[in-house]
Chains A and B, each alone.
Chain A
Amino acid sequence: MPVDGFMYPNEIELQWSVLIVVYPFVTGLVAGAFILASLERIFLVTAVKPTYRLALLTALSFLLVAPLPLQLHLGRPERSLEMYLTPHTTSAMAMFGFVYLWYLMAVILLEIWLEFRKEIVLLSQSSTGAKRLLYKVLTLGSTNISEGALRVDDKVGWVITLIGIPSAFLLHGYVGFIFGSVKANPWWSSPLMPVVFIFSAMVSGIAVVLLLYMATTKMRRQPIDMRCVDTIAQYLLYTFIIDFGLEMLDLIHRIYEADESFRSLDFMMHTKLFFSQVVLQIALGTLVPILVLGAIQIFHVPEKLRKIAYAVCGCLTIIGIFAMRWNVVIGGQLFSKSFLGYTTYKLDLVSREGELIAAGLLILPFFILALLVKILPPWPKIEPASGD
């Protein structure tokens, strides 16, 4: 029997699978990567400039994958167009279609286009064959890359980035609200939920760009800009502290108020969620990175050691934030709304919502990024197109 204690008969089977863990994780990376990019553009943190273009392309790669877990999860995916036809304005989920389209078209694609326009025009003139056609289409027929035009691009790009920050918060914050507004589920229902989601998104997004920058720079056999990664690590630490503070606030508040759900949730955290929450999310995924990154701020740590520390912290962070999504989504369905029992989540290996698909969806953005990097090189030196 998969049930401990009593569950309402219809609650025994989980409704939202690992794919619904993957979705907020992926949109979180999008929002976080974009926020890191905006650090340079809006807040003029020039140290992180080397990661600006890479962060934008990373955001796009993950954004393109984001609707996939949702489509695979829907009972009737062929009806998903209905979200655009008759969105129910009282439902946070109905926002998805429009917020996603807005963010894709009006923020990410537009910003990338404006940022890369000069290279696109040059490459449309210098490359051959199919690539030439691709770049020509991307120019939208305009070849004006005069100083005046580029200045216009810069100004408009600045405005787009500015609009992009609240848009990124909306793209990921509404997911937090989807959970936070469900009064039936005390593990989810909280005004803190969208805020926690956004800050953990920023943490994961910053970590992923940090890791990608270090990895791709190493692959290109270039020296890592330490000023850049040191600054990114600082922002990672600050964001982590806020994120951790919020999570602890939620926990302490729960323990203190001890409402009708507390006994059941507390037991769940000590048993079914112990590994994913206490070990992976809190200890390894949050406390260790905070302590290590904090130590680097206080003590002098040599460069080689710092690079290793950043790589390790980056990986732990990403695992920890995935665990956080897991604990929210899956954790919220493991206990009964009668507060009298628990069920188990059967994660299949090979099925429409199984492990393999989830892993595939998490890896796919990196393949997309590899492709994007070939088309729109983010590196300072433009590689000759014919040399690929």
Chain B
Amino acid sequence: MITRRKLIVLLPAAALAWQYVLAGTPETAPNYNTSEHWWGMLLDIDKCIGCGNCVRACSTENNVPEGYFRTWVERYHVADWEQEVPQVDSPSGGIKGFPPSKFTGGKNFFVPKMCNHCVDSPCTQVCPVGATLHTPDGVVLVDESYCLGCRYCIQACPYGCRFLHPTKHTAEKCSLCYHRITKGLTTACCENCPTGARQLADLKNPNDPIHEFLRTHSVQVLKPHLATGAKAFYHDLDGSVR
């Protein structure tokens, strides 16, 4: 028998269910099907010249606040065989390029860094409310209208790619230019890299030349021992890189 007391419990449940029904289907970019793509990136250390174009382009495309970085470039100097103590610098993230190096010998190279869009990302795991998310096509994004600004995700990222936006007070990071790649464009950093050191990869597309490169060359990810499932693949990454 339906008593008044039972109705008090049933009605809100029914209302919730109805709201789900009314929610309808989402709008994605036209002709873009998330299930056809699985995004990653190739970063070729052999080709990076440390010009900083990527950092500037990302900053312009995504309105990145000054002093914070969705992507940045590091310069390494390894004096000899000892990989454990490289000398590293990244003046303003490399946004103005790099000044002449004070070193004369050893191994020297540039390493672009960015969000690794991990498959098993620790950042999505720790978000208390579901403000950071995995899209069905493999991109890790931040829902800035839902983020509380608790900063747990920033602590959990092993790669240092997240920051708190100084005026929005929500977490922010590389979005793999989701607004571009869902329209058939490449990311701002890849578009502006003059040497092809950064190239977007679609790991579900068998005809993607970068996908082919990843299948036929030695590639590494950063901090593999943490098993994050990183999808930013480095070609010719030296063992000294952190």
Contact = CB atoms under 8 A, between A and B. Distances in A.
Interface of A: 6-11, 13, 15-16, 73-77, 79-80, 82-83, 85-88, 90-94, 96, 178, 181-185, 260, 263, 333, 336-340
Secondary structure at the B interface, as helix, strand, loop or mixed, is loop
Contacts of B170: 75-76
Interface of B: 68-69, 72, 74, 84-90, 92-93, 113, 122, 125-131, 146-152, 154-164, 168-171, 226, 242
Contacts of A333: 155
Contact of A9 (B72, B86, B128, B146): B72
Given A8-B159, A183-B158, A79 B148 contact: yes
Contacts of B151: 15-16, 75
B155 A182 contact: yes
Contact of B154 (A15, A79, A86, A339): A15
Nearest to A96: B128
Contact of B148 (A15, A82, A336): A82
B125 A340 contact: no
Contact of B150 (A8, A9, A93): A93
A83 B226 CA distance: 28
A183 B126 contact: no
Nearest to B164: A75
Nearest to A178: B152
B117 to A, nearest CB: 16
5 contacts: A8-B159, A178-B152, A182-B155, A183-B122, A340-B242
B155 A15 contact: yes
A184 B128 CA distance: 17
A117 to B, nearest CB: 28
Given A9-B93, A83-B129, A340 B160 contact: no
A75 B155 contact: no
Given A10-B69, A183-B122, 17 more contacts: A6-B89, A7-B160, A8-B113, A8-B159, A9-B92, A75-B147, A75-B148, A75-B149, A76-B147, A76-B148, A76-B170, A83-B148, A85-B129, A91-B127, A91-B152, A93-B128, A96-B128
B128 A88 contact: yes
Nearest to B113: A8
Contact of A182 (B72, B92, B122, B171): B122
Highest count of chain A CB atoms <10 Å: which of B126, B147, B158: B126
Contact of A340 (B86, B150, B154): B86
A13 B68 CA distance: 10
Contacts of B72: 8-9
Nearest to A85: B129
B131 to A, nearest CB: 8
Nearest to B171: A75
Given A80-B148, A183-B226, A337 B158 contact: yes
A11 B160 contact: yes
A182 B69 contact: no
Contact of B160 (A8, A182, A260): A8
A74 B127 contact: no
Given A88-B130, A91-B152, A10 B160 contact: yes
